[in-house]
Amino acid sequence: MSDTSSASTEWWADPTILGWMAFGATTILAGVSFTTYGGLWNSGSALPAMAVAFGGLVMILAGIIALRKGHAFSGTAIISYGAFYLAFSAVVTTAVAGGTGAEAAAMWFGIVWCLVTFTFLLSAPKFGLVPTVFFLFLFVGYILMAIDFGTLANSNTLPGWYGNFWGLEFFITGLIAWYLASAHLTNNTYGRKIFPV
């Protein structure tokens, strides 16, 4: 997701590596939590803390650095999804707890993030195949989220496999982001293209 045309000599390193890593790790954990195997939405859940600290605050910091370095696309994306995870912790936790109107709010939350992600998806091909696949998977993930919570808002339930499918889709999205972080870091460390991005 780095949109630098040439290597920078300033002391700030490429912040997109940190952005990809934070999003990837948090989304892998989120994907697991949405399946029937995760069991993370309980009083001892690690996901809300991860969403705030690594998925939220760290991503916003990385995004600010990216914008400061002149990376309009990656800086905007990293900050946006950092803000998503800060809000996600509260919105989804409330919906799972069954607050009044919480499922409908979570549905619209998913719809809005579909729109945000579609905007990034339009420009993603400029940065390579893997970022494009990432944004496509993320776009589909938000659609699945909106459908799930929209169904709950209408007092209906989806088949049991749907939650596992949604969780697996998010898990794969997180793995793609983790791959991008690992590829960028490895390529930067060795000064040559080892992993394609």
Alpha carbon distance 196, 180 (integer Å)? 9
Q: Judge whether 115 lies within some domain.
A: yes
Note whether residue 160 is domain-resident.
yes
The arithmetic mean of pLDDT across residues 168-174, rounded, is 95
> 82 or 88: whose pLDDT is higher?
82
Residue 32 to residue 146: CA distance in whole angstroms = 18
Whether 147 is in a domain gets the answer: yes
pLDDT tier at 90, thresholds 50, 70, 90: confident
DSSP letter assigned to residue 38: T
Q: Does residue 11 belong to any structural domain of this protein?
A: no
What is the Cα–Cα distance from 110 to 150, expressed in whole angstroms?
9
105 and 88 Cβ atoms separated by less than 8 Å: no
Tally the domains of the chain: 1
Does residue 29 form part of some domain? yes
Q: At what angle do helices 59-68 and 72-97 cross, to 10 degrees?
A: 160
| The token pair that represents 63 in the structure block | 């995004």
Please indicate, yes or no, if residue 5 is contained in any of the structural domains: no
Task: Report percent pLDDT > 90 for the chain.
Answer: 62
Q: What are the CA-CA distances from residue 159 to residues 18, 62, 95, 154 (Å)?
A: 37, 39, 18, 15
Residue (of 183, 180, 185, 178) closest to 195 by Cα position: 183
Q: Assess whether pLDDT exceeds 60 at residue 114.
A: yes
Q: Give the range of the structural domain holding residue 94, as residue numbers without chain letter.
A: 16-188
Tell me whether residue 121 is in a domain.
Answer: yes
List pLDDT tens digits, range 27-85. 999 898 878 765 545 544 788 889 999 999 999 999 999 999 999 999 999 999 999 99
On whether residue 4 sits in a domain, the answer given is no
Q: From the CB of residue 45, how many other CB atoms can be counted at a distance below 10 Å?
A: 18
